Structure 1
């Protein structure tokens, strides 16, 4: 059966009007892939990483908005935003399943074209870590050739992280939790914060919003950890223990990153409950 959408009121002419492609900027988006080899699988590699960067852009938008809401004590909208961040991380995890269809033989056909470029150099990935509170100033060095990106990371390291603002909610609720003495360092486990969270978890009815806020952060880190695990597994599957294109030790380096914890207080309290 032939169907004419125009008969149902669908607009079919877009001269002088905004179309789907216009709104989304698809001409620029779909012509931003420039393989440097003739290898069939290079397009997969490029699109995998470009789409991941788009999802990370949205994650940063949501994390920034959630931080502002939390700082204002307006937690309910922040719950929705943090839930969205966790779902974004789930999307990023699913993308590894597509990349894992590429074999070592296929990757080797275009790997030389990457030269020294590497996901290790992703500015947005580093910014996600910085916003969450995992701040390692040494990680700014790969962006020194782009002062705008390096300055953005330094500016982020000078302001309270997402978790710093969460600790502010604990203080507002009457818990004796000190602010971090140095914002430009990773969050270290803190006994006072851990004790405060333990009290929240022992009486969730009394501290429901703080309880839910903590679980939103754990959800986010849960998916973030899975992303890291999928990353190292995919890399090992495709290149084994070769050195990474960006100069790291590859799988060995990525395995060490699995031990990095974003919100140690929220994980360590579980043992004491």
Structure 2
């Protein structure tokens, strides 16, 4: 053990960055780390801002992975998509952990700055809306909070014209010799998928003989894993809101916890859950 100061340059570490790309440059940290602008003097407003900004960054990555995974499935390239689906599940695990930090904020802490939020609310997150649309929870009414931004509205409308991730997965079944009704395969993509006995039976065939349909079996389990983590994120959102504001209405005018409880009833890949009862 020595007290001699360590100089990383002695082992070749770069220590001068005049005119060269540094860590701060590559990650554009200056705009990121100066994007927090509390509107009150409340200490916990910084926590609230950082938690939501970092969540939006994780959602940015989730969208990057979801759109790529969907494209691969539509192109019948399953194995690379599996890695992306596994990553998306872990992104939502990371988002779940963020609620643990936010829950250190008490109702008194939040009340000290809540009115500065105005009508802004996480309900208006266009990235979250994109994730829902890509996953298959499609509701054209949810375009309205974004009508004031034509660029974002156009992006979301384009998502509604594309097959959902579940649509892309369902198309793999007939390609493996497991038929599905035309009404399932050729429905209007802007409408949500409605569970059918035919789709449940098709997935059940996969689960009864996983050794025969191993890629479809793995695809199904990747989707279940993703929805499992997504459900946990929604549930933790609900419990955090209830812990901080109780039964008050949300700043964006939603019912608060009543709205979030309604969202818990949404099932993204329904037949992959119901088949477990009938196997």
TM-score when scaled to structure 1?
Answer: 0.99
Q: How many residues align?
A: 273
Question: Bigger shift: 122-131 or 185-194?
Answer: 185-194
Deviations 1:139-184 (A, max 9, x none): 1110010111111111110111111111110011112213142211
Q: Is the 8 A contact 1:133 1:186 kept in 2?
A: yes
Please list, as runs of the form range in 1=range in 2, the aligned pairs for 1:1-273 lying within 5 A after superposition: 1=3, 2-178=5-181, 179-273=185-279
* Residue ranges of structure 1 left out of the alignment (5+ in a row): none
Q: Is the 8 A contact 1:194 1:269 kept in 2?
A: yes
CA distance in 2, matches of 1:129, 1:267: 18
CA distance in 1, matches of 2:119, 2:57: 22
CA distance in 2, matches of 1:203, 1:263: 20
CA RMSD, Structure 1 to Structure 2 (Å): 0.7
Q: Is the 8 A contact 1:164 1:180 kept in 2?
A: no
* Displaced runs of 4 or more, over 4 A: none
CA distance in 2, matches of 1:210, 1:62: 19
Q: Indicate how the Cα distance of structure 1 residues 180 and 108 shifts in structure 2: closer, same or farther if over 3 A, else same.
A: farther
TM-score when scaled to structure 2?
Answer: 0.97
CA distance in 2, matches of 1:181, 1:32: 43
